[in-house]
Amino acid sequence: MNKLHIWSPNIFQFKGGIQTYLHDLLEAITEKLAEFQIEAYNKLDKNKSQECLNSNNLRFYFYGNTPNAIRSIYFAFSLIVESVKKHPKLIICGHINFAPVAYWVYRLTGIPYWILVYGVDVWNVKSEIKQKALKSADKIISISGYTRDRLLQEQNLHPKQISLLPVTFDANRFKITPKPKYLLERYGLNSNQPTILTVARLSSCEAYKGYDRVISALPQIREQIPNIHYLLVGGGDDRPRIEQLVQNLNLQDHVTLTGFIPDEELVDHYNLCDVFAMPSKKEGFGIVYLEALACGKPTLGGNQDGAIDALCHGELGALVNPDDVEEIAQTLIQILQGTYPNALMYKPETLRHQVIDKFGFERFKETLAGYLEQHLQASI
């Protein structure tokens, strides 16, 4: 049986953007390549979640139980040995950090490889071996046009070498509903109260997501919309800084830091808001934009990163300078007052239909299947 190898950092024990993307990729590949044996080599996880990815043609190899001190070396050695022994038709590197190993496997065996790229992981790559790996890859799969364009500019790659496979989402889960009463009661809000929402980890290394800029914009927004409220969903080590900012601006009655919320409440939080805002500037793509749009919510993102792709260059939402608090404030005021010059913002069902059409799982599967079919035909 033909084999395809996928090398991933982790998928199950931690659920970030990369992990979700790799999960979706594996699900799509096992469905579209039913005649292949898919072997997934997972560096950090210790085992698999029992309820997902149970395809008969998918097998996992976990290295999370390997001692930390030797895990990277042992994982790389295992990848080389397994590749030489099994000689898959294709290797897919789930992170740029694995690309140097794939490069040497390619030099040794001729096995072609793809590299999945997301955002900051491949912006300003200086490592010579990673640069060589990028140039020798059979294909680079980018989740956004923004990251593709940066790679082309920074690494002098051929445009045909990079293909787009945008992030997808579960349209069956993220749906339009009325504002949930239990959350209105929990946060002391009324159903007519204008509410802004951000969903993000409050990590000091991810402050680029712009939630502090939204808070800084609230005093201006209050002048036009006195009862405005901001819900910031997520926990992390950046919370003390944000609490201090809220206190300094005397916004305690206008901001709620929800902390961590259970996954089953996420859709309800999207449906609680009147506008979703995350004016980031280093986001590789931002699945949260798609989730908010699927719930029919007007959405604001930054104009300096992958949010450009998620919001289709302003077709599906508002793009602002993430460093311009004045612009953020005025744009949110326009959206909330119903005067923003994009009529689609105020058509929830149409907004939902558009985002599913562009980024739904069926589109994701068909795009990936086209790339795989093209590769397999070329290798015959």
Q: Is the pLDDT of residue 284 over 80?
A: yes
Element (H, E) at 276: strand 275-278
CB proximity list for 206: less than 8 A, separation 6 or greater: 200, 236, 238
Beta bridge partners of 300: 277, 318
Which tokens sit at 71?
Answer: 């895990």
Q: Write out pLDDT tens, residues 320-334.
A: 999 999 999 999 999
Q: What is the mean pLDDT of the chain?
A: 95
* pLDDT at residue 337, rounded to an integer: 97
Give the closest residue to 279 by CA, choosing from 371, 341, 217, 345.
217
**What is the dotted CATH code of the domain comprising 181-359?**
3.40.50.2000
User: Looking at residues 161-180, what average pLDDT do you find?
Assistant: 96
**What is the percentage of the chain residues whose pLDDT exceeds 90?**
88
Q: How far apart are CA 186 and CA 200, in angstroms?
A: 20
Residue written as tokens 């926990």? 235
The fold of 3-168+360-379 is Rossmann fold (3.40.50)
Q: Write out pLDDT tens, residues 7-57.
A: 999 999 877 889 999 999 999 999 999 999 999 999 999 998 777 788 899
User: Looking at residues 209-228, what average pLDDT do you find?
Assistant: 97
Beta bridge partners of 58: 38
Q: Write out pLDDT tens, residues 232-246.
A: 999 999 999 999 999
User: Looking at residues 1-10, what average pLDDT do you find?
Assistant: 94
Query: Which residues of the chain does CATH 3.40.50.2000 include?
Result: 3-168+360-379, 181-359
Q: How far apart are CA 242 and CA 330, in angstroms?
A: 22
Identify the weakest region by mean pLDDT among 110-114, 224-228, 281-285: 281-285
* pLDDT confidence bin for 302, thresholds 50/70/90: very high
Q: How far apart are CA 49 and CA 61, in angstroms?
A: 13
Q: Which pTM value belongs to this model? A: 0.90
